[in-house]
Structure 1
């Protein structure tokens, strides 16, 4: 008889090749090695990043095990793991600071340059190693991660809501609170009102912004944005968003502008929507081929800052429980991000709904 956890075969959502529909196929999840944890996934959000992996927009390390916005329960842990134990309810993070790189050592672990992932590979049944999306891979009943990627949270929050903190909600909320450093009384504009943009709007509201302007091309999304705290909305199909933002801010522009689309045209609009000394935060993920051109004199003369927000510049062990507490206190409605729940075989259909803009988040219940 062999003691301890063994390798397990489970069904999972895999992107086999560029542009091909995802496949539900059997994979092998090994037992956790030193510093690793195996997690029983209960729910996982369907994020644009998963679609980017499927389409080869991130890299070509196929086959990909998709899914990364996940919550579940620790099933087993490897040698040396003390931060979590079997039975712990966790949200999975794709940043697990190493504690020893130059960024961690200078007190900025949210910029860790050597974030931890599991070392033992999950594989197809024929032994082909899988590339887990963002180092997680959670469209599966069981996944293997570094123990540092497991963040314990209050189990009172259902997994379909809690899991979204693992990516989209944290990215948007952190772009507003951590990167944008929004303070009471400031004016804010958010370009793009998908899940990340709405989380930025929610973060701005929690931070005490007095005016929050949501900008999008879809009236339905703008109405959703109001539910997360937008005080004004602008449909940029119908009016110049730069002029509209200025008109709503006494002709000055917003103190903080968050670009949650990741396109050159919206970035330029966001840049010119700032007040003097205003702060511009890019959190939308661009295609690697995209470039942006700006008049250098405008970059100089407007002052302020142009920042990129990596995962909301978050420290998961600090920020995930904060967002859970805000939700439980009625100040941030995580459940409002969940448009629908689907089965593990419905990911391809969820991608289509995402493309059409029909959902904030589809969430796979496992």
Structure 2
């Protein structure tokens, strides 16, 4: 029978979040109910609260989560009750033209649970990124559950559900960083630091962290940055060139998503180098670049959606790297908080005081 549990909603644009009773249906065909153990507080959750994603209030917030499958619906075979899973927001269909081409990370028909979770008065909730995990248990499509080893605690493992995977994948999957490469990363929040960690795991020998906050630059070195640049204090393009033999970096990751950082990233790459945009720009932002420079420099200008990841492939691999001591997932967890502390976490996020606050449920 349906469960009534505590969850965190954004009822209206800009209004403080609320902890309320939420009704979670029993799973239907192709669905699963997951008891959430932990969920990271991501910028995307704040964007939902601020109306930056859509106007479909009220939203059930939270999406970077790990927990245990409690029940599954008809036809579900990939996961079973008792499985420890990381939730993902791109459950691939296996049938669209991207999947048919062997590129399921570009799936055009990703799906969520068919049923809706509701308030006790029947008001339907829109789950953030189709997940909604600031809640004791949530309803998702079974394909949004990726079974992994319990080697990593849920507080760390759940971060693979969004920001950490996005950054790691931007460097390794989208950027194709490999041994001996030089890499520059603009923006050293959680996504940028994950890109730095990914570049280090992949064997890059020069990894340059760029930010305007010395605290973030210091943290970036803990994830593998070999050099740091405070872009308020110098010409960042010239500084990156000076650190790469005068050429520029092989791969430059923009984890900010601003026209000024993208332009710097464009000019900071080597000839035939790659620029990867993983920072999410707002719809109003535009950029202008000389077409002759785009032509003359060659290489590739790419965007990275969710780190171009395939959860079934990448989540277990990253947990294995964690287990081997090669990928410090715990390092992304700045603090562990309760379900009533999310507004405070948003405030700390805005001030740059945390990589990730993680809600324990």
TM range (shorter): over 0.9
**How far apart, in 2, do the equivalents of 1:42 and 1:165 lie?**
14
**How far apart, in 2, do the equivalents of 1:295 and 1:108 lie?**
32
Out of 198, 201, 204, the position equivalent to 1:203 is 198
Which digits, 9 at most, give the CA deviation of each residue in 1:242-289, with x for residues without a partner? 111011011111000000011111111111101110000000011111
**How far apart, in 2, do the equivalents of 1:295 and 1:124 lie?**
52
Matched residue of 1:293: which SS? coil
Aligned: 1:303 with 2:298: yes
- TM-score, length-normalised on structure 2? 0.99
Aligned: 1:229 with 2:224: yes
Out of 329, 332, 353, the position equivalent to 1:334 is 329
Q: Equivalent residue for 1:25?
A: 20
Q: Equivalent residue for 1:45?
A: 40
Matched residue of 1:255: which SS? strand
Which digits, 9 at most, give the CA deviation of each residue in 1:206-240, with x for residues without a partner? 11001000000000000000000000000001111
**How far apart, in 2, do the equivalents of 1:65 and 1:291 lie?**
31
Matched residue of 1:33: which SS? coil
Q: Equivalent residue for 1:258?
A: 253
Q: Equivalent residue for 1:3?
A: none
Matched residue of 2:8: which SS? strand
Shift of 1:126: 1.2
After the TM superposition, which of the residue ranges 327-336 and 293-302 deviates more from structure 2? 293-302
Q: Is the 8 A contact 2:12 2:58 kept in 1?
A: yes
Out of 174, 178, 199, the position equivalent to 1:179 is 174
Q: CA RMSD in A?
A: 0.6
Matched residue of 1:41: which SS? strand
Shift of 1:156: 2.2
Q: Equivalent residue for 2:342?
A: 347
After the TM superposition, which of the residue ranges 237-246 and 192-201 deviates more from structure 2? 237-246
Shift of 1:184: 0.8
Q: Equivalent residue for 1:122?
A: 117
Out of 237, 262, 271, the position equivalent to 1:267 is 262
Aligned: 1:242 with 2:242: no
Matched residue of 1:364: which SS? strand
**How far apart, in 1, do the equivalents of 2:294 and 2:19 lie?**
48
- TM-score, length-normalised on structure 1? 0.98
Matched residue of 1:344: which SS? coil
| Matches for 1:63-74 after TM superposition, within 5 Å | 63-74=58-69
Matched residue of 1:332: which SS? coil
Out of 194, 209, 212, the position equivalent to 1:217 is 212
4+ runs deviating over 3 angstroms: none
**How far apart, in 1, do the equivalents of 2:32 and 2:165 lie?**
22
